[in-house]
Copies of this chain bind each other. A is one copy, B any other.
Amino acid sequence: MAQDSTEGSLKERGVRLTRQRQILLELIDRTGAHLDVDQLYRMAKERDPKINRVTVYRTLKMLKAGGLVDELDLMHYGGDQHYYETRLKQEHAHVVCLRCGRVEEFFGEPLQRLRKQIESHFGFQILVARTEVGGYCAHCQTLRAREVEEIRHESKSVAKPPAAGARTRRAHARPE
């Protein structure tokens, strides 16, 4: 049972801890993963087959508004849905490989430095910050180079080099 600060935080605000919410909270907080609505919905369904997708949306919206989860896009790799993660973790950037979909998290002082500079530069009060980076991971750089090479061979002469940011939209490809 997830008896962490998230649930406490909700109780304080008089938010009801329904069975559905407990399930969703536990999934988000415990896995610490980047889950989209569909994944979350299916996982929740294993524990409560009657749960509705709409409840997942509503719960996430509430958690986001309450500053308990962060909403990510992960560079829209894999579609236009959103991904969610706990805010219990320390602030970090998301580094998404546009070829394999793997997502790395970067914690490091440049992030805090950036945050502070923005706050002092504009006199801005930051509530949420999001850094997402897309490109090729170490592994895929090599594979990518090979692919480009092959293409250049196939179309012997007028080799239109594949556009830099081009990405195949393979629905819900799993990293790895």
Contacts and interface: CB of A to CB of B under 8 A. Distances in A.
B122 A104 contact: yes
A126 B134 contact: yes
B122 A93 contact: no
A122 to B, nearest CB: 6
Contact of A133 (B95, B128, B136): B128
A110 B137 CA distance: 22
Nearest to A162: B65
Contacts of A163: 13, 65-67
A7 interface: no
A131 interface: yes
Contacts of A166: 65-66
A8 interface: no
A14 interface: yes
Query: How many residues of A sit at the interface, in one of the four size bands?
Result: 35 or more
B108 A124 contact: no
Contacts of A13: 160, 163
A127 B121 CA distance: 27
Contact of A124 (B110, B114, B135): B135
A21 interface: no
Contacts of A110: 110, 113-114, 117
Contacts of A95: 118, 122, 124
A132 B118 CA distance: 11
B130 A133 contact: yes
Among A67, A130, A141: residue with most chain B CB under 10 A: A130
A65 to B, nearest CB: 5
A66 B20 CA distance: 43
